[in-house]
Structure 1
Amino acid sequence: MSQKVTKGVQMLLGEPKRAVIKLSLPMMVGMLVQSLYNLVDGIWVAGLGSNALVAIGLFFPIFMGLIALASGLGVGASSAISRRIGAQNKKGADNVADHAVITGLFLGVLLSVLLFPVIETIFVEMGATQEIVELAVKYSRILILGASVIVFNNVANGILRGEGDTKRSMYAMVLGSGLNIILDPIFIYTLGLGVVGAAYATLLSMIITSGFLIFWLFFKRDTYVDITLKDFDPNREIFIDILRVGLPSALAQLAMSFAMFFINTIIIRIGSSDAVAIFTSAWRIIMLGTVPLLGMATATTAIVGASYGAKDIEKLEIAYLYAIKLGFLVELLVTMFIFIFASPITYLFTYSEGAEQLANGLVRALRILALFLPFVPFGMLTGAMFRGIGQGEKSLIVTTLRTIIMQVGFAYIFAFYSDIGLSGVWIGVALGNMIAALVSFTWGKMTIIRLKEKFSIF
């Protein structure tokens, strides 16, 4: 077999602890920049007034569903490619990349065709005013037409991560987010396009990023995989392999959105609009604290996949446990930071006269919710391990257990069956995450034991 050797592949097949660190760091940087973009984008749009924010808010759940499908397909491709690299099956990895790109383009076109004609009806049925509906339709249709670009970006990044090239994946993420931050004020204010300008800025930044990804994958050709679409030969088993990880990954992201909806409903029933503002503000900070783990999870999936493909379960276990140990230490530091600096952090959200009444409640929420962060690696990285071995359905179960069953369940119990009021919701969310994480980790350890037995490691 002619085996192409790249730095990424060498990393995947090399010492697992070093691979975890080297492959995680670029993804952490890329995801931190993406998080910064999401914050800045909201600030620019906020300058247009409440109608603009509502218009974008109406499309947000649909857009997140689109992103979930796209990123899920990218994760499926990453897992399938890394497993074939571990098995030293270069032709198989190339074939997976071909299938992922074709599937992504088909999915993008399908989403555009299905959503474009009905998006206005969806907004009207949601009960928005005519003025807001018009703004939302103009904004959303631009991004819906660019669905193929959005999906391709996620698939191409998944291919790069699957072969251990997290640096170029980071470059693409930073480029897209950085361009968006720069283009937003130009399109929104300088060109006077308003909320529509925000959509154009997003789409243009993605198109430019796609140009770099296309150059790397199709023209420069210094990647491990060789994508030759002209020789594409549909293979049902490869489609199933990609989707077995990709579809559950997409559904897991949607499960997190559903969980937030249910928790907001609980808060509204026992609290007020101020309570919702406290939770959403606190949750933004808490989720920002998990960004390093998201980077580690993508790296863990690729490393575990390569180890599984090579049938090296001992190496797989070392990478998995080391990632969890590293993630635990990082999140412990994040928890300490939030706990100590909760008051200064709170001021960022409560400095105005109209929001100062939220301060004490927000400090309390931050300090309680932050307590579950050190437990997050045990669940999140177990899910990443399951995706790496191609068992995406187990990753979905882990996420559903954590978000909808435990998180929402305990929040409901403490909210309505205790006398501690709103703090009971925060305690329930924290406790649910802790228990789910430990259950997931136990399942992960048992899975590795079974893999050792299967491949006769003992």
Structure 2
Amino acid sequence: MTRIGRRPIDLDGDRVVALVLRLSGPAILGISAHSLQMLVNAWFVADLGASAIATIAIAYPVTLLVAALGYGAGIAAASLISRALGLGDRGLVDEAASLGFWLSLPAGFMLSAVILADTPAWLGLLGADPTLAAAAAPYTALATVGTALMLVMIVGGFVVRAQGHAALSGAVMVGSFGLNIVLDWLFIRVVGLGTAGAGWAAVGSQAAGALVYLVHFAAARGPDRVRFRMPWGGRIRSDLLGQTLWLSLPVTGSSLLAAFAMALFVEAAAPYGDAVVAAQGLALRLAMVAALPLLGMMAGAQAVFGHASGAGRHDRLHRALGFVVAASLVYGVVVGAAMLAFAGPLASLFAHDPATALEGARALAAFAVAFVPIGLQLVAATLFQAIGAPRRAAAVSLAAQGLALIPPLLILPRFLGYDGVLASRVAAEFVADALGLALLMAWLRAGAGTGRTSGTAAVERREAVQVAAAHEPAHQRA
């Protein structure tokens, strides 16, 4: 159990809305620090010209390939941990946390090494022409190293949030991204390293965040302690690997698909010039920054969803779901309207040449329209991951991250030019939102989780974790 303010969090007894807010608050604060870091980074890079902005945009799909491993393993571990805590199975908590790191770190480090061996070739595969690939390679290589280090932060954050330690996760994110801002200023402005300076800033800040989590897990005692287990010698139950993989594959697959879709997006814009590629990358970054507080809310809500599901408290699960859906839609309307109204000034703030600013405003206005209902897809994916329904989570995530984008992206630009590129993104978001809403409504109509039950933290395909009936959570302090 962790403390926020003076009173410990009680995942069983606290009022649902207050609990979601208390768990989401630190995550939103930490992710908002990430938002600020991304905006400051874009502001520093803007001074370097459109080619530098395009460099950051083209590097993103490469680093996403590495980060995908952490998000998949982390969300799977968090889903199992939160439900295991609801059912009081401390052994499962240790095993799930261990698997989260074992599934992400070795694979992430190996993939990073492969990317570093020939970074320009990877950029070429993802849509960059030889000139842009050569220019973007130094930053991309450094950003890849930073992302590999960030895997510790990603998985560690999911583990501690599932335990109820949202404040720790938020503090690490604020500290790491705050350090990134300082290092951006130092390496870009003072030392004059250009985009490579942004890469070195990422390496330094992510290494610091990873170190904090390593120290935390080494020093934790009592109910906060995670006893890490090796994946051999019977120290992790044999069926848990399959369950973890089944939970992680939708997230990892959707992130990998997002990297491919992003590459297609860049490739579709490339014929219209570097200014358009830079503007598109800028608008996507601003839209992503706007979405980060929503992701913070989902991070807090996942622990509530999973714990309530594991404990059989479906009344609490439904109350949490209703609040999160309403809050995310209100946020989408307010922020989407603000992005649409201020698209021009926002683009001009982060793009100093007129052509990039004009195209950035145009792209941001389109993305603002698609932003309004984005909470539907985020809530649906979070809920289904938290309760152990990866097929439904996969349907929403894969649609949002690429499957709904690829068909219109291959068709619309042929008829509408660059307008078709932007329209493809809007169409894909609305399809994912509609699918998320449809699956949520079908789940509710089926009466999923009515009443209070106990027994298993079920995963689809009958890959259930057999545990005792719910009792006083092992993570609760006296």
Distance between the aligned counterparts of 1:132 and 1:120, measured in 2? 5
Contact 2:66–2:108 (8 Å) recurs in 1: no
1:291 to 2:288 alignment: no
Of 231-240 and 22-31, deviating more is 231-240
After superposition, the Cα gap between the structure-2 partners of 1:182 and 1:414, relative to the gap in structure 1 and judged at 3 Å, is same
1:371 to 2:354 alignment: no
Q: How does 1:396-415 map to 2 (within 5 A)?
A: 396-409=394-407
| Partner of residue 306, structure 1 | 307
After superposition, the Cα gap between the structure-2 partners of 1:142 and 1:90, relative to the gap in structure 1 and judged at 3 Å, is same
Distance between the aligned counterparts of 1:22 and 1:408, measured in 2? 38
Higher helix share: 1
Contact 1:216–1:223 (8 Å) recurs in 2: no
Distance between the aligned counterparts of 2:129 and 2:65, measured in 1? 20
1:440 to 2:441 alignment: no
> Structure 1 residue 209: deviation in Å?
1.7
Task: Tell me the secondary structure at the aligned position of residue 315 of structure 2.
Answer: helix
| Partner of residue 345, structure 1 | 346
> Structure 1 residue 200: deviation in Å?
3.3
> Structure 1 residue 351: deviation in Å?
5.7
Q: Which amino acid aligns with 1:391?
A: A
Q: How does 1:8-407 map to 2 (within 5 A)?
A: 10-13=9-12, 14-45=14-45, 59-119=59-119, 122=122, 128=130, 133=134, 139=139, 149-188=149-188, 190=190, 195-221=195-221, 224-229=224-229, 233-265=235-267, 276=277, 279-348=280-349, 352-355=353-356, 358=358, 365-407=363-405
Contact 1:411–1:424 (8 Å) recurs in 2: yes
1:297-328 Cα distance to aligned partner (Å, 9 max, x none)? 22222211111111222222221121010111
TM-score, structure 1 length as denominator?
Answer: 0.82
> Structure 1 residue 139: deviation in Å?
4.9
How many residue pairs align between the two structures?
Answer: 445
After superposition, the Cα gap between the structure-2 partners of 1:194 and 1:81, relative to the gap in structure 1 and judged at 3 Å, is same
Contact 2:50–2:353 (8 Å) recurs in 1: no
Higher relative contact order (CA 8 A, sep 6+): 2
1:78-115 Cα distance to aligned partner (Å, 9 max, x none)? 11111111112122112222332344443344335544
Q: Which amino acid aligns with 1:12?
A: L
Q: Which amino acid aligns with 1:234?
A: I
Task: Tell me the secondary structure at the aligned position of residue 164 of structure 2.
Answer: coil
Contact 1:160–1:168 (8 Å) recurs in 2: yes
TM-score, structure 2 length as denominator?
Answer: 0.79
After superposition, the Cα gap between the structure-2 partners of 1:266 and 1:100, relative to the gap in structure 1 and judged at 3 Å, is closer
Contact 1:108–1:149 (8 Å) recurs in 2: no
Distance between the aligned counterparts of 1:341 and 1:353, measured in 2? 16
> Structure 1 residue 128: deviation in Å?
3.1
For the aligned residues, what is the CA RMSD? 3.7
Task: Tell me the secondary structure at the aligned position of residue 451 of structure 1.
Answer: coil
Q: Which amino acid aligns with 1:384?
A: T
After superposition, the Cα gap between the structure-2 partners of 1:230 and 1:336, relative to the gap in structure 1 and judged at 3 Å, is closer
Of 338-347 and 284-293, deviating more is 338-347
| Partner of residue 451, structure 1 | 448
After superposition, the Cα gap between the structure-2 partners of 1:372 and 1:11, relative to the gap in structure 1 and judged at 3 Å, is farther
Contact 1:244–1:390 (8 Å) recurs in 2: no
1:414-454 Cα distance to aligned partner (Å, 9 max, x none)? 6566xx77556555543543343133222123234353379
| Partner of residue 476, structure 2 | none
Percent identity among equivalent residues? 23
Q: Which runs of 5+ in 2 are unaligned?
A: 455-478
Distance between the aligned counterparts of 2:342 and 2:42, measured in 1? 24
Contact 2:336–2:369 (8 Å) recurs in 1: yes
> Structure 1 residue 171: deviation in Å?
0.9
> Structure 1 residue 342: deviation in Å?
3.7
Task: Tell me the secondary structure at the aligned position of residue 290 of structure 1.
Answer: helix
Q: Which amino acid aligns with 1:305?
A: G
After superposition, the Cα gap between the structure-2 partners of 1:317 and 1:207, relative to the gap in structure 1 and judged at 3 Å, is same
Contact 1:279–1:362 (8 Å) recurs in 2: yes
After superposition, the Cα gap between the structure-2 partners of 1:101 and 1:151, relative to the gap in structure 1 and judged at 3 Å, is same
After superposition, the Cα gap between the structure-2 partners of 1:122 and 1:166, relative to the gap in structure 1 and judged at 3 Å, is same
After superposition, the Cα gap between the structure-2 partners of 1:428 and 1:190, relative to the gap in structure 1 and judged at 3 Å, is closer
After superposition, the Cα gap between the structure-2 partners of 1:410 and 1:103, relative to the gap in structure 1 and judged at 3 Å, is closer
After superposition, the Cα gap between the structure-2 partners of 1:90 and 1:259, relative to the gap in structure 1 and judged at 3 Å, is same
> Structure 1 residue 197: deviation in Å?
4.3
Task: Tell me the secondary structure at the aligned position of residue 236 of structure 1.
Answer: coil
After superposition, the Cα gap between the structure-2 partners of 1:403 and 1:228, relative to the gap in structure 1 and judged at 3 Å, is closer
1:157-189 Cα distance to aligned partner (Å, 9 max, x none)? 111111121111111111111111112333455
Distance between the aligned counterparts of 1:205 and 1:56, measured in 2? 17
Of 173-182 and 135-144, deviating more is 135-144
After superposition, the Cα gap between the structure-2 partners of 1:236 and 1:48, relative to the gap in structure 1 and judged at 3 Å, is farther
Distance between the aligned counterparts of 1:260 and 1:338, measured in 2? 21
Task: Tell me the secondary structure at the aligned position of residue 373 of structure 2.
Answer: helix
Q: Which runs of 5+ in 1 are unaligned?
A: none
